Structure 1
Amino acid sequence: GSVLFSAADDYYSKDSSFTAWHGQGAEALGLSGEVSSQRFKELLVGEIDPFTQMKRSSGDATKDERSSGDATKERLGYDLTFSAPKGVSMQALIHGDKAIIAAHEKAVAAAVQEAEKLAQARTTHAGKTITQNTGNLVVASFRHETSRALDPELHTHAFVMNMTQRGDGQWRALKNDELMRAKMHLGDVYKQELALELTKAGYELRYNNKNNTFDMAHFTDEQIRGFSRRSAQIEEGLAAMGLTRETADAQTKSRVSMATRDKKTDDYSREDIHKEWVNRANELGIDFNDLSWAGKGKDGPQTSMNTVPNFTSPEVKADRAIQFALKSLSERDASFDQSRLLAVANKKAIGQASKQDIEAAYYRAVA
């Protein structure tokens, strides 16, 4: 969500194992590679360069911020967080698998690229304020590797600066409505690209039809639960209210999550934490080198929401995903838009076809 004046620079840069600039807006400012703490702080307050200070006003506030009294506070930016599934985090961080880290970074970059399509700013034309699509963002990403419960949790905070460059070259505050509405969609883009990259790297994945998630096929549910203490804390909090993850609404889950949060601690070194992970993995009987299917007594990894055999081309898989989405949505609704169709198709094709494959299949279908 929105990040107002706070210690944003401390929060996002603390304990980061990797930082990077993303977005065409960053490119326009000559920013690439590692995020400099000084440059990050300058951009937080709208300093484009030593001679240019971007002006922001309460007119840039959202309706919710105006009604809550936050309109007079300056929004520094927006936090988009992309988290790998638990088993993926375990393989990457306990075993030290660099191919998974690379897959995660590619998936984050793909999600940010998608977010740029939603970048907008206000401009005045003939005395009227209108919205202009800008197509560029300034994004600083910060990769972290632990949860608050000190379990392995590969995740990246993509901090979207509250600025974008209009067509006239002027830098203005973001009109963030579309971006905030698309947070779930951007998470799906991340997951789809991550699954695809992991599949390309030779990993088998198992899928959960119920909530459209996936994880490494060579870990059992018990082994994954053994490294999910944060999830267990939230589930216990919900259980005390007579609820589960399935029955609780998003607001309740968010409230319980905040209430059960441990304070981040600096008491343990990275080496100490990793040593404890290795010991726990040994106790759970995890073999990181054995990548065979571990779902004992269950169907194999091909029995999932993806029933297309692996030897089928991505184009064919994408075509089938589009047909599935058309059929599925047509049975429920008399009409639906392109974005909903693509969202369903992308979930269907997770790990099997890229977002670009799905879009190409859509245009083939409507041609």
Structure 2
Amino acid sequence: MITVTQIRGGGGYMSQHLSMNDYYSEGEEVVGHWLGKAAEQLGIEGQPVRQADFEALRSNRHPQTGQKLRPRRAKVAYHDFVVSAPKSVSIAAMTGGDDRLLKAFDHCVRNTFERLEGFAAIRVRTGSSYQSEELKVTGNAVAAAFRHDTSRMLDPQLHTHLVFANLTWDESNSRWLALQPKQMAEQAGGAVRRAFYRELEHACQQLGYETERVGEAFRLKGIPQEMEALLSQRSVQRRAFEHRYTDVFGQAPDKKRIEQFIKEGHSSATKRFRKEYTAKFGASPNSKLEQSFIRDWRSAKMETSNRSNVHALQRERLGDVNLKQLDRIVEVTKRSTEIIMQPVPQQESLIKQMPPKVGSAMKSSEPKVTKKRAKVNRIEAARRLRRGMAVTRALQGQPRGIILRQISELNRKRHER
């Protein structure tokens, strides 16, 4: 999945959202790196993202010289493209500890960035095009890449923020201009997204995992859907919110309202509910209704945990049966040869040959993967493991306080041992 969000202003976005995972302790932080042809021109490509450089680009200044870049001010500071792995891949990589999947994911994200960068453009403002929506592709951008590995509910959720600065270099006029991400966003929901799924699926197959298609996406067949549900507490909360919203307002929430629910804290969620309820019914909601509606807000970051505790908590949530199955599946696949990262057949040439202007007309080819005889024993072993697994019900979403108590109890048990 690839989602896109505009970052207006952006003060504190790096320190509060990007440098910190959704859990952290003293000394732990996520280090991002600069990507892009425009980043190379600015002298920062490949370097770790420093707060000073991030703030300089946010303020439309050169990160090294401090000089003004774009001729015009802009309300939008960054465009955040979030590239997420399928849940089953996140489980095998993070909870199952298969670091090879992290390497594969990073490789595919880097290719995804390069494809998105190829659609970077500026708005044409000269001559007859002054007030039009005509675009000109520049093909260069600068972005800060930050990889995170959990959701706010501490479930495994492997995803990378590609935070594009509102900046691109116009070669024909030798100047910096505002980035127009329209085609980038369109392709992120189309051809680029499909290319990411197919390439990551191909990499998983190279690592020995058997996959199955789910719409445009895919999943690892060795990870039961019941296991995904156990480690998808935020999804459970979202579906419960949709039911509550429909019961109260008589209609399902739209995509924007669901995104607001996912991102808002308790105070913001309460204010929004009061406002929309009053607008709908002409009266304020009573306290009982308000409390029943606002119960699955987005918790603050977990300041009392660390990577080891979160990993242990995820494994405890699975239970003994699921945990043994997960460990055996990862162990079986690790016997395969170390991955050699190569593009999916015909995939790279297709993306590069198609001009950006064709937009959604781009199509990705479906690779034909031949199963080798060497995989037969592994696949059969995985099938035997899946047989007879007890079906477990999905955990309901848990607010921050319960998670903290779980971590505390887990630490106590570990010390007693």
TM-score by length of 2: 0.63
Residue 193 of structure 1: how far off its partner (Å): 2.1
Report matched runs for 1:27-176 at 5 Å.
27-30=40-43, 31-48=45-62, 49-50=64-65, 52-57=67-72, 74-122=75-123, 125=126, 129=130, 131-167=135-171, 168-176=173-181
Deviations 1:94-119 (A, max 9, x none): 23222111111111112111111211
Residue by residue over 1:32-58, the C-alpha shift from the partner in whole angstroms, topping out at 9 and shown as x without a partner, is 142223222222212223152113535
Structure with bigger helix share is 2
Q: Residue 362 of structure 2 aligns with which residue?
A: 342
In the comparison of the two structures, how many residue pairs are matched?
Answer: 294
1:363 corresponds to: none
Does 2:29 align with 1:9?
no
Distance in 1 separating the partners of 2:129 and 2:258: 41
Task: Quote how far apart the aligned CAs of 1:88 are.
Answer: 0.8
Q: Deviations over 1:246-296 (max 9, x none)?
A: x8642343244345422222122222111112222343523334339xxxx
Please say if residues 83 and 156 of structure 1, whose CA atoms lie closer than 8 Å, have aligned partners that are also in contact. yes
Match among 245, 251, 259 for residue 241 of structure 1: 245
Structure 2 portions without partners, runs of 5+: 22-28, 264-268, 270-296, 331-343, 351-356, 371-417
Q: SS at 1:202's partner residue?
A: coil
Structure 1 match to 2:197? 191
Q: 1:352 to 1:46 in 2, by over 3 A?
A: farther
Structure 1: 4+ residue segments shifted above 6 A: none
Q: Equivalent residue for 2:38?
A: 25
Q: Which residue of 1 aligns with 2:230?
A: 226
Q: How far, CA to CA, are the matches of 2:253 and 2:150 in structure 1?
A: 26
Distance 1:223 1:351 in 2: 28
Rg comparison, structure with higher value: 2
Cα offsets for 1:2-33 (capped at 9, x unmatched): 10113222122223544222211112223214
Query: For residue 37 of structure 1, what is the amino acid of its counterpart?
Result: Q
Contact 1:238 1:256 in 2 (8 A): no
Structure 1 residues 18, 103: closer, same or farther in 2, change over 3 A? farther
* 1:35 partner amino acid: V
Whole-angstrom CA distance in 1 between matches of 2:358 and 2:180: 23
CA distance in 2, matches of 1:143, 1:117: 22
Letter in structure 2 aligned against 1:195 = E
Inter-CA distance 125–252: structure 2 relative to 1 (3 Å threshold): closer
Matched, 1:264 2:301: yes
- Once the two structures are TM-superposed, the CA of residue 158 in structure 1 deviates from its matched residue by 0.5
CA distance in 2, matches of 1:212, 1:200: 19
Match of residue 387 from structure 2: none
- Which consecutive residues of structure 1, in runs of 5 or more, have no partner in the other structure? 59-72, 293-312, 322-336, 354-367
Distance 1:139 1:351 in 2: 33
Instruction: Tell me by how many angstroms 1:180 deviates.
Output: 3.1
- Verify the 8 A CA contact 2:120 2:179 in the aligned structure 1: yes
Equivalent residue number for residue 364 of structure 1: none
- In the alignment, which of 214, 217, 221 is matched to residue 218 of structure 2? 214
Alpha-carbon distance between aligned partners in 2 of 1:149 and 1:217, rounded to the nearest angstrom: 24
Q: Percent identity?
A: 23
Secondary structure at the aligned position of 1:189 is classed as: helix
Contact 2:154 2:314 in 1 (8 A): no
